[in-house]
Structure 1
């Protein structure tokens, strides 16, 4: 039997009061100082014999290939094109010569932006800039490389721009030295260094000389628009390999003497392996061994079919400790949270008490079920473990934390574990967790040979860490002119992000992480609930709960239920005030012109009819981390089947580097939001989902989706992330559309089948 993994320490749990008080030292953060590299952090890139490391984000080979180093996980969002495009634009490279390489673990690639969003506490907010600095220090010193929350471009835009500018200056200095001229007279266009006259030189010819020069105190950036790559719809760098099949995902890895494993874990909760039939699998051709741990068992065979067959014959039995999870128990615990002692007011403006006292209050209750990830690629990892250490190939959004967890499970130093981060076949946040990598490594150690572990779709659904379920009690006071004078949102929901961090950074088991967050009210659980409208008196209260269902990082996170509650209730108030829904919103958006512009644009493009009965039109707006969007949908019910004939989205997300990829991400978010509205959730009974086949989840099909139009607004603002922005908008827009179609207000997600 394989040795049980050691319990992980609390060294990565987060930022607390003590950490803030003792966390001194030299300021670091993600500091990309091009004149003098940070003394503590040097690039740790490997270079081939013909390659020159220019800085932490760039290598150039002798043939002139521009090799851009990307620390972010490609999950289909185009990050391995957009970040290189920023660097290549500032460098003056020929796009045809640009290649991408995954970054090694290093403090230089820490995502301090996502860390600040995720780890902010009352203590850090109390300290202001010092609190942000403390989180940045923690993230940097921990080499906290994270992908998620649409933070890749906002986090790394300036770093890649500066990396390209620094390389351009160094190359121009080297060329100028050869030509005996001032370097300021040189420039790079389409990958060629020129002196502005007749002399030209390829980048690769001079790269090794360029790194010997110094950079000026002020780094000059490119001026003008001639030959610029930024803002162009350049082709994605990963498309050719994905078309011809040469692109390697985790399941494509092949190693000498490799075998295949299938895994079975218990039901949701604190489940232990109680027994299995060890003799029945012996008759399966190709079966090799059963590897068991306290909470799972894996069958290993010479092929995946044999591993699956052997596991079925082993028929593992699990014992569940504690109350089983069901949809009814989830709803009951959420409702019970409203009367608990852990509720807390997290956002407030003005004074609600005198507004609500003695007034006629309009109130409604809303509900959102837990939404599954359902990525195209279930979890998969390949591992090789020997006396020298371990190697693991897997897609992960947190490679440093995944490596540490694997090392901890094997009883090795993190330096003895090499993790090869691969692109993911979709994720939506699911690959923030690392359990498949740990399991593959333990099985490989037990087998003494490389092992590829592939979760089945059934296992992927049962063990999913879905988005949080939530109940909301919304109340408002309307003034005589129809404006909202008071607004109160009470939300009962667990915090999925708190649970995720406890698992991936603290090593907590899923049920432990869920229980540990049960009494903590946090803004992460009600993100997106602060209304974007000019309401003089409003508040948002969070009532935490442990619903028994482990939850995880998702696309949009709490904004998925936050936008549904807010935009559905705003639409309801508009009808109660006898006002047209768009005008009702516009009158409160005077202080938010970017959102108002998006709303009016979407309405104009979609031919907004005022939400009249029978129109089947609905609208919704939302803003998120510096990006603004509005959506108009046309929806109808055909019996029990929801169809959406048209979606129009107007988005202001700043000056996007690659507008076409931005549109792709917005379109993907719209379809993700549609799936969330239609059925990307399952009922639970006895700690198991009652259905696990994708075909039975009422997910949108091509015939359910009509015309999709995305308008990117012109903007000179800094580019914002767009991966999460559109997803929260679709469900409330559809619910508002169906009200005009049926006259019935739908207040629960998924919408189909609700009353």
Structure 2
């Protein structure tokens, strides 16, 4: 049994996990590396003599606000003064593992493995991950307990000084208080660490004086505003050189380097060398610009045998998937394989999604004293460290990784090709090297959000009610691809690869509608396409919500029913989503979505949260799409920091808007026609609609929000365009319709 004393040592990493596999000791050592005049209190925080509190955060900060929300949970339970709170990245280890994110990303690739075993394996292997809108959902409980444990220890230390029972003491604003007596946390920390915890921790309750629920200022904002924060490209080391890289055409087959013009590159001022690899070539120089110019002069040539990315081949692969039997993902009621009677049908498509983050893949590496030191923007630091070690043939213990702030990511920083390449360059050159991919390279060799096709069908009653719902979705098995690429050296993942194929849980996320139907069948048709796919913010919910919400809207109009009422009539089991719909409709001045109104509505549930949107949109004079207004209503349970939630939902809406109204890459023989941010036609400030985000008060457990804003935007806009001009867009992005 896990005692409260064990909790202090392990940081609550085992709390809530299935114990079926708990036959090994689970006392994980944690070193917060306290500096002089600092005292570590458990696995999550340390307190300095001057009252400064530093909280370890295992999640990568790439704009989503975890460097604020996670410390806010601890500070609230501890009774700290927010002005004294600081943050540092946690050292990867079992205590900080995130099996919830692992399940979201890799669960589809390990569908045969029992959930309890998967979770236990991911904890024991210290799989630290950021993704899947899991940070608060995963770590709220252990962080609350860590804050409560520190509060109890501090009150015990103060109570001993005062000669009172510790239960008569409390904490507030960084002090332990008992009547008129007050002692600062910093004065008590060293003594507090020597006390024992009770069997049951007293967690705070009630709303008075709580930090949780307040829109406290973000801890990462000041340094980002004044430019003092360090990203990977800001790292500077003695004798460091800069490098950029070229790889072959895009596809699923690795290209082979066959020719370079090294003398031409050497003639570029500032170039110090060229490093050739079987699959890539790098130019090294004393500045990044010189490296880029040298690479242009190098004119590398590659050979690729088959597997080149090609849009026609991608489309053919998706269509061919429908010719093979689908894998059952969900089925209930007396669902028919072939629908008969009054049947409505529609087909939808979504193209590859590009990450287009501001920070391209990069890493800084330094080989010294028979060790490799890495600075990298990574959402999976343990996996990045292991990949770097394999790349240069050393043990993981010989590699130290420093997870850096990330300049966006949207999921791209889960992969670590740049880390491997930087490690090879540092080991080859025997000096510090900073590798930065160009925008062209980042776009060409993205790990794209998977393209998909859907064939939707519904058998209808005479009054338009849905009697039988059928969704057949052709898309790559992204969960299996992520598992193979990122966990390919994991024993559990390797063993699962030999088991029979099942519907991919990642690829089918969000495919089960939130509505109640008498019967439904959802099938996954795994598609084999010449394109490397990966995790993109919003996941597969982005495609599957588009398919569902557009088809529901078409069915509502076919039935002659107002679209919001049509949806709410099927949501008796989900009053929260129904409330989101009614709230968005009221705030968005919904007038029924009739012809000519230019209003569209959509909703979705994911990661324990719910969202509904009303969009106002129209075709502009050039054939593009103009979105004038978006109103969103969100139920995400208890909001730790409401402003951060609004920021995440609004940011997700803007990303969803970019993916819906911009351009998807078109491939010909492994080359994409989108090589710059401008080519993607991302929305600019002048294109940004008025956005309103309303948070519905809730006392439920916190849900995820980072992906939530992305998913419902495209169907709401598509439904608005259909209302504006009667032209139904069934393909994303809309420019491809």
Mean CA deviation greater in 292-301 or 685-694: 685-694
Supply the distance in 1 between the matched residues of 2:256 and 2:412 (Cα, whole angstroms): 23
Aligned pairs for 1:35-54 within 5 A: 39-54=26-41
Residue of structure 2 in register with 1:81 after alignment: 68
Q: 1:357 to 1:105 in 2, by over 3 A?
A: closer
Residue of structure 2 in register with 1:310 after alignment: 294
Q: CA deviation at 1:362?
A: 0.9
Supply the distance in 2 between the matched residues of 1:595 and 1:335 (Cα, whole angstroms): 34
Secondary structure at 2:385's aligned position in 1? Answer: helix
Q: CA deviation at 1:357?
A: 5.0
Residue of structure 2 in register with 1:752 after alignment: 735
Q: Residues 493-550 of structure 1: CA distance to partner in whole angstroms, max 9, x if unpaired?
A: 0022321221122169xxx9xx999975312211111011111111100010121100
Which structure 2 residue ranges, 5 or more long, are not aligned? 1-9, 17-23
Does residue 70 of structure 1 match 2:57? yes
Supply the distance in 2 between the matched residues of 1:279 and 1:364 (Cα, whole angstroms): 58
Aligned pairs for 1:187-202 within 5 A: 187-195=170-178, 197-202=179-184
Residue of structure 2 in register with 1:590 after alignment: 572
Q: 1:28 to 1:219 in 2, by over 3 A?
A: closer
Q: CA deviation at 1:747?
A: 0.3
Residue of structure 2 in register with 1:184 after alignment: 167
Q: CA deviation at 1:325?
A: 2.1
Secondary structure at 2:630's aligned position in 1? Answer: strand
Supply the distance in 2 between the matched residues of 1:650 and 1:198 (Cα, whole angstroms): 45
Q: CA deviation at 1:306?
A: 0.9
Q: CA deviation at 1:696?
A: 2.3
Residue of structure 2 in register with 1:676 after alignment: 659
Does residue 148 of structure 1 match 2:131? yes
Secondary structure at 1:114's aligned position in 2? Answer: helix
Q: CA deviation at 1:113?
A: 1.2
Q: Residues 114-168 of structure 1: CA distance to partner in whole angstroms, max 9, x if unpaired?
A: 223344369867x8xxx22211211111100000010000000011111000000
Supply the distance in 2 between the matched residues of 1:517 and 1:470 (Cα, whole angstroms): 25
Supply the distance in 2 between the matched residues of 1:264 and 1:296 (Cα, whole angstroms): 6
Secondary structure at 1:383's aligned position in 2? Answer: strand
Does residue 476 of structure 1 match 2:458? yes
Contact 1:396 1:402 in 2 (8 A): yes
Residue of structure 2 in register with 1:102 after alignment: 89
Contact 2:108 2:506 in 1 (8 A): no
Does residue 602 of structure 1 match 2:589? no
Supply the distance in 1 between the matched residues of 2:526 and 2:390 (Cα, whole angstroms): 31
Contact 1:81 1:236 in 2 (8 A): yes
Q: 1:453 aligns with which of 410, 421, 435?
A: 435
Supply the distance in 1 between the matched residues of 2:162 and 2:11 (Cα, whole angstroms): 38
Q: 1:434 aligns with which of 416, 420, 425?
A: 416
Supply the distance in 2 between the matched residues of 1:65 and 1:247 (Cα, whole angstroms): 19
Q: CA deviation at 1:94?
A: 0.3
TM-score by length of 1: 0.92
Supply the distance in 1 between the matched residues of 2:727 and 2:280 (Cα, whole angstroms): 46
TM-score by length of 2: 0.94
Residue of structure 2 in register with 1:16 after alignment: none
Supply the distance in 2 between the matched residues of 1:681 and 1:233 (Cα, whole angstroms): 36
Contact 2:334 2:519 in 1 (8 A): yes
Residue of structure 2 in register with 1:319 after alignment: 303
Which structure 1 residue ranges, 5 or more long, are not aligned? 1-26
Contact 1:663 1:710 in 2 (8 A): yes
Contact 1:494 1:517 in 2 (8 A): no
RMSD of the TM alignment (CA)? 2.1
Q: CA deviation at 1:752?
A: 2.2
Residue of structure 1 in register with 2:258 after alignment: 274
Residue of structure 1 in register with 2:726 after alignment: 743
Q: Residues 248-268 of structure 1: CA distance to partner in whole angstroms, max 9, x if unpaired?
A: 001000001100001001111
Q: 1:294 aligns with which of 278, 281, 290?
A: 278
Contact 2:479 2:504 in 1 (8 A): no
Contact 2:350 2:733 in 1 (8 A): yes
Aligned pairs for 1:638-717 within 5 A: 638-639=620-621, 640-717=623-700
Supply the distance in 1 between the matched residues of 2:600 and 2:476 (Cα, whole angstroms): 29
Q: 1:553 aligns with which of 535, 544, 553?
A: 535
Contact 2:11 2:42 in 1 (8 A): no
Residue of structure 1 in register with 2:19 after alignment: none
Q: CA deviation at 1:360?
A: 2.5
